[in-house]
Structure 1
Amino acid sequence: MSAPTHPGTRATTTRVDTRLPWWALLLPAVSFLVLLMLVAGAGGAHATTDDPAVGRVLQQVRQTLPL
């Protein structure tokens, strides 16, 4: 059994502002790059001894970024 509906009422829609501030996109990107550099720089060679392709990719990323 369905509930009766009232034809005079409508659901109100509100517009939500979804714009992000500039730092909301910059902070995750910078933290990702810092963590990537830490992995590539300290101990990255020991972790990639089994798979040399991963070491080459990390080395290429490290040379590409000016950090």
Structure 2
Amino acid sequence: MSAPTYTRPPQATRGGVDIRLPWWALALPVFAFVALLLLLLNPADAHAAAEQPAIAQLLERMEQLTRR
């Protein structure tokens, strides 16, 4: 009586890997790139850029607390 032989799937014999990404795995980086590109082209719409950065406010507050 002969034993059944194991055959490899087609990907394993070629050495390749079959990876399929969901649609949003490509759409999200493209959306982020376009949004940042639009901000670069029209920086007047970036209202937060005109204000003082949050990290600077945090550092100032820490400095005030350590002076007392």
- Normalising by the residue count of structure 1, what TM-score does the alignment of the two structures yield? 0.39
Q: Which has the higher contact order (CA 8 A, sep 6+)?
A: 1
